[in-house]
């Protein structure tokens, strides 16, 4: 009798423990990338890139896996949520966003504001906050069809470009968490890399050569790769990269081995705000064809590199000041150091930012000059 | 004389688990203060210490009596029973809140199509079995469960190390003063003051109860503080907009694309610790009812109580948003009499009337 009772009480566990939300993997459309643009009707054109698992990882002509490893589903919709449902209907399977890597936004849409799209991304329980953001000038249908030798799925290709950016200092990759953090903080600017199709290469490839500047959630301009680096120097985002400078007709090229920026904001009694940035950079010399660098004039070379970095920084700073976009996070720095001062100055911040004094001190150390000490051209003289 | 069934060590560990079962509730004081949520947590620990002294003083003054027994000695038989009934209702309320919380978490994040009631039923059925086997056995389990959870918390802090940004903690004290008061009130009554429930079991605990109470509270509360600090250092201002900060933070773990999507680990933690919390509360409810009603055996009412908890949990809140609103703004006032006013009043009355048990 007792056993029957126990069994009876276990029965609901067995019945209810059955997986309600269970879905077979073959019934899911696994989305790797989402792209949005403004269509002709002024609504949203939504492209979802869905992976075809059986075709991934197999070479062509390998029997079964001869097809494309992805399909793109394009739908028109008023809102992203609606579009996802339509995409699900088109693909005949349930849209599964958990593996999504990127959100690619067309330039036109970025100019109108991307918050409505981010709201969907953040609300959706399947998605993480580390979805990478990209802006594109190209048609999203074209760009989501470019693959490379190593990446069969365009979305993973684009995501890998974002990861590479962090390593070669060609721009800053930005995920949803970082972007909304910028929106929640006091500074009003943010950067998102722009990915474009490189038609000159064969086969066609993708590249990131510029960065979109956002004020709040609207794109207001673009920066070239060098200009972006001007921001990254001040933001302590430089990891690797190449830098070139000229001195007495010699062209020097160096690899940035590491760089560290310490930034501090000061406010004096008269509410005058200034910023001081100390940059420590380690360089490996990669080009010095006349063997110019010696113990005597290494200081001059260092100075030339320092000037080069300064000119990169100040060129971008001027541009940002003119557009009153604080992509550096100076406002948030001030808020963190002295929130009372910030509360006083908040209304005047645009003017303060425009005339903000930024003092840059650069300390360069040239760690090595490569495997040769002297130049052949000099030896032959 | 009642048998001393619980060891001091198990008592302490059970309290740590009980407090960790409240980590899902950090959202109740986070949105107000955003990145400064650690301040009320720290202040709350300091301000709860006197309360812990009051609880353990009650337990030692009236050794051999549970909370219900104490009420009857101090306030007389009739008033004591009424106050005990109020306490039991309070315990039911926080049990329902915890059940609702863990159930909602599962149905929101892990199995969205499954009705919440399914999770409530599954949790309460498991807890009912535990309760029927007795509080001493629940507390004995604590050690194993705590070891598992501690390891996983340490590991995930290490895995998140590269996402930690200490600048996220600045500036401090930038909000209005009243918001700190509100948050401290919430944190003292909501997770910390809830340890008043352990007064139901002090009379069957051996060893030094004061030490057990203090250690259990301090370690448990500090572990909540560590988890809050971890979440702030990873999420920063975004802490104020996400629904479950711990879960959202752990979702960001990504070590070279290899070690990623391990957030399911935190749901293990949440289940384990919620199980401990709900079981302890559940036990307190049924033992309390048995004591007030004057019956010796409580086992026959376990299932009935379970059904009531499930029904309350189903009817309680329509959506998570309502629950957060309730937890943030109202629950603290409901809990204040039970966690702060009544214990202090009981102790003062006892001292004035020179009441104690031998």
The ipTM, to two decimals, is 0.81
* Residue A14: per-residue pLDDT: 62
Domains and CATH numbers, chain B: 8-351 (1.20.1740.10)
Q: Can you give the pLDDT at residue B301?
A: 87
Question: Does residue A13 sit at the B interface (CB-CB below 8 Å)?
Answer: yes
A18 in B contact zone (CB under 8 Å): no
pLDDT at B319: 79
A181 contacts in chain B (CB < 8 Å)? 236-238
* Tens of pLDDT, residue by residue, chain B (358 residues): 467 788 889 999 999 999 988 877 667 777 778 888 888 889 999 999 999 999 999 888 888 888 988 998 888 889 999 999 999 999 999 999 889 888 888 888 877 778 888 889 889 999 999 998 888 888 888 899 999 888 888 888 888 888 888 888 888 888 888 888 888 998 898 889 899 999 988 888 888 888 999 999 999 999 989 988 988 898 888 888 888 888 888 888 887 777 777 777 778 888 888 999 999 999 999 999 998 988 878 888 899 999 999 999 988 888 778 888 888 888 889 999 999 999 999 999 988 888 777 5
Cα–Cα distances (Å) from B256 to B61, B198, B233, B253, B261, in that order, read 58, 45, 21, 10, 12
Q: Per-residue confidence at A19, pLDDT binned at 50, 70, 90?
A: low
Please, are residues A310 and A224 in contact by the beta-carbon 8 Å criterion? no
Q: Which pLDDT score is estimated for A61?
A: 46
SS (H, E, C) chain A: CHHHHHHHHHHHHHHHHCCCCCCCHHHEEEEEEEEEEECCCCCEEEEEEEECHHHCCCCCCCCCCCCCCEEEEEEEECCHHHHHHHHHHHHCCEEECCCCCEEEEEHHHHHHCCHHHHHHHHHCCCCCCCCEEEEECCCHHHHCCCCCCCCCCHHHHHHHHHHHHHHHCCCCCEEHHHHHHHHHCCCCEEEEEEEEEECCCCCCEEEEEEEEEEECCEEEEEEEHHHHHHHHHHHCCCCCCEEEEEECCEEEEEEEEEEEEEEEEEECCCCCEEEEEEEEEEEEEEECCCCCCCCCCHHHHHHHHHHHHHHHHHHHHHHHHHCCCCCCCHHHHHHHHCHHHHHHHHHHHHHHHHCCEEEEEEEEEEEECCCCCCCHHHHCC
Chain B residue with minimum CA distance to A182: B237
**What are the chain B neighbours of A125 within 8 Å (beta carbons)?**
108-109, 112
What pLDDT shows up at residue B109? 80
Percent of chain A, pLDDT > 90? 12
Does residue A60 carry a pLDDT above 80?
no
Chain B residues within an 8 Å CB radius of A122:
241-242
The yes-or-no verdict on residue A267 having pLDDT over 50 is: yes
Contact A21 B114 (CB under 8 A): yes
Using the Cβ of B163 and the Cβ atoms of chain A, whether some distance falls under 8 Å is answered with no
Query: Quick check: B164 contacting A, CB < 8 Å?
Result: no
A-chain residues near B254 (CB < 8 A) = 130
Can you give the three-state secondary structure of B138-165, one letter per residue?
HHHHHHHHHHHHHHHHHHHHHHCHHHCC
Q: Which of A9, A122, A185 comes nearest B237 by C-beta?
A: A185
B121 touches chain A (CB under 8 A): yes
Closest CA to B197 of B3, B2, B21: B21
Taking only the tens place, the pLDDT of each residue in A198-212 is 888 878 888 888 899
State residue B165's pLDDT score.
86
- Cα angle B22, B28, B30; round to 5: 110
Residues B232-257 as b/e (b if ≥16 CB within 10 A, e otherwise) read bbbbbbbbbbbbbbbbbbbbbbbeee
3-state secondary structure A138-151: CCHHHHCCCCCCCC
Domains of chain A: 23-232 (no CATH), 241-381 (3.30.300.210)
Beta-carbon contacts of residue A212 (< 8 Å; ≥ 6 apart): A107, A110, A135, A191, A192, A193, A194, A219, A221, A222
Give contacts of B112 with chain A, Cβ < 8 Å.
Answer: 21, 125
What does the pLDDT read at residue A56? Answer: 75
A164 touches chain B (CB under 8 A): no
Residue B122 pLDDT: 87
Q: What is the pLDDT of residue A16?
A: 60
Enumerate residues 6+ apart whose C-beta is below 8 A from A221: A212, A213, A323, A325
Nearest to A327 by CA among A262, A235, A217, A263: A235
Tell me the H-state helices in chain B. 8-20, 30-33, 38-61, 67-75, 77-105, 116-132, 135-159, 177-187, 209-235, 245-250, 264-293, 302-316, 320-329, 331-336, 342-352
Q: Which is more confidently placed, A65 or A111?
A: A111
What 3-state DSSP class applies to B172? coil
pLDDT tens digits for A156-189? 899 888 888 877 777 888 888 889 888 888 888 8
Q: How far is A296 from chain B (nearest CA, A)?
A: 41
Residue of B nearest to A14 (CA): B122
pLDDT bracket for residue A17 (50, 70, 90): low
Contacts of B42 (CB under 8 A, 6+ apart): B225
Nearest by CB: A128 against B112, B237, B252: B252
pLDDT of residue A66: 58
Residue of A95, A102, A130, A337 to mutate, interface with B, max B Cβ within 10 Å: A130
User: In terms of Cα–Cα distance, which of A55, A224, A210, A225 is closest to A147?
Assistant: A55
For B203-255, the pLDDT digits (tens) are 888 888 889 999 999 999 999 899 889 888 988 888 888 888 888 888 888 87
- B114, B128, B232, B250, best to mutate vs chain A, most A CBs in 10 Å: B114
What is the arithmetic mean of pLDDT over A130-141? 90
Task: Classify residue B356 by its DSSP letter.
Answer: -
């Amino acid at each position: 009798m007792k056993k029957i009772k126990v069994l009876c009480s276990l029965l609901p566990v067995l019945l209810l423990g059955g997986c309600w939300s269970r879905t077979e993997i073959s019934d899911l459309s696994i989305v790797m990338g989402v792209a949005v643009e403004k269509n002709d009707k002024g609504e949203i054109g939504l492209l979802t890139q869905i992976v075809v698992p059986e075709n991934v990882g197999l070479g062509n002509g390998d029997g079964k896996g001869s097809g494309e490893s992805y399909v793109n589903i394009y739908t028109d919709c008023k809102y992203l949520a609606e579009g996802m449902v339509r995409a699900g209907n088109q693909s005949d399977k349930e849209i599964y966003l958990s593996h999504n890597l990127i959100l690619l936004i067309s330039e036109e849409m970025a100019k109108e504001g991307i918050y409505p799209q981010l709201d969907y991304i953040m609300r959706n329980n399947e998605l993480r906050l580390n979805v990478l953001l990209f802006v594109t000038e190209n048609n999203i249908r074209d760009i989501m069809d470019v693959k490379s030798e190593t990446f069969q799925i365009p979305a993973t290709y684009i995501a890998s470009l974002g990861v590479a950016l962090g390593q070669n200092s060609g721009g800053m990759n930005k995920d949803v968490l970082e972007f909304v953090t910028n929106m929640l903080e006091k500074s009003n600017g943010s950067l998102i890399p722009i990915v474009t199709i490189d038609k000159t290469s064969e086969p066609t490839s993708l590249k990131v050569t510029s960065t979109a500047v956002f004020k709040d959630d609207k794109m207001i301009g673009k920066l070239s790769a060098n200009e972006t680096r001007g921001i990254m120097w001040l933001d302590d985002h430089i990891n690797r990269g190449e830098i070139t400078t000229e001195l007495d007709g010699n062209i020097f090229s160096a690899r940035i081995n590491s760089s560290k920026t310490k930034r501090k904001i000061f406010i004096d009694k008269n509410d005058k705000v200034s910023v001081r940035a100390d940059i420590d950079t380690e360089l490996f010399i990669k080009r010095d064809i006349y063997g110019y660098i010696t113990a005597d004039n290494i200081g001059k070379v260092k100075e030339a590199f320092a000037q080069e970095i300064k000119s990169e920084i100040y060129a971008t700073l001027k541009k940002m000041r003119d557009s009153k976009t604080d992509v550096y996070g100076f406002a948030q720095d001030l808020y963190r150091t002295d929130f009372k001062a910030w509360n006083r100055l908040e209304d005047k911040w645009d003017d303060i930012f425009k005339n903000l004094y930024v003092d840059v001190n650069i300390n360069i150390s040239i760690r090595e000059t490569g495997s040769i000490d002297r130049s052949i051209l000099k030896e032959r003289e | 004389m009642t048998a001393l069934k619980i060891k001091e060590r198990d008592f302490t560990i059970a309290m740590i688990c009980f407090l960790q079962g409240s980590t899902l509730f950090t959202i109740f004081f986070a949105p107000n203060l955003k990145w400064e949520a650690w301040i009320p947590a720290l202040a709350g620990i300091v301000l709860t210490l006197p309360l812990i002294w009051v609880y353990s003083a009650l337990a030692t003054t009236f050794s051999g009596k549970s909370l219900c027994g104490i009420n009857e000695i101090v306030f007389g038989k009739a008033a004591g029973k009424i106050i005990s009934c109020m306490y039991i209702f309070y315990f039911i309320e926080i049990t329902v809140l915890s059940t609702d919380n863990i159930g909602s978490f599962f149905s929101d994040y892990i199995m969205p199509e499954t009705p919440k009631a399914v999770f409530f039923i599954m949790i309460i059925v498991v807890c009912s079995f535990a309760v029927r086997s007795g509080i001493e056995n629940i507390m004995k389990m604590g050690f194993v469960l705590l070891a598992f959870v501690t390891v996983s918390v340490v590991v995930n802090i290490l895995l998140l190390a590269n996402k930690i940004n200490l600048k996220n903690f600045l500036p401090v004290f930038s909000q209005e003063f009243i918001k700190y008061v509100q948050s401290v009130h919430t944190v003292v009554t909501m997770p910390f003051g809830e340890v008043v429930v352990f007064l139901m079991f002090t009379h069957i605990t051996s060893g030094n109860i004061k030490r057990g109470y203090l250690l259990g509270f301090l370690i448990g509360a500090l572990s909540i503080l560590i988890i809050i600090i971890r979440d702030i250092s990873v999420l920063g201002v975004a802490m104020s907009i996400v629904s479950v900060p711990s879960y959202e933070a752990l979702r960001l773990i990504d070590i070279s694309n290899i070690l990623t999507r391990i957030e399911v680990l935190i749901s293990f933690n949440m289940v384990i610790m919620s199980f401990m919390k709900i079981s302890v509360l559940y036990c307190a409810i049924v033992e309390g009812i048995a004591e007030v009603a004057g019956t010796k055996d409580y086992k026959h009412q376990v299932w009935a109580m379970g059904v009531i908890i499930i029904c309350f949990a189903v009817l309680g809140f329509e959506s998570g948003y309502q629950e957060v609103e309730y937890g943030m703004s109202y629950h603290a006032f409901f809990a204040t009499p039970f966690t702060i006013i009544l214990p202090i009043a009981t102790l003062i009355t006892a001292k004035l009337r020179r009441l104690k048990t031998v």
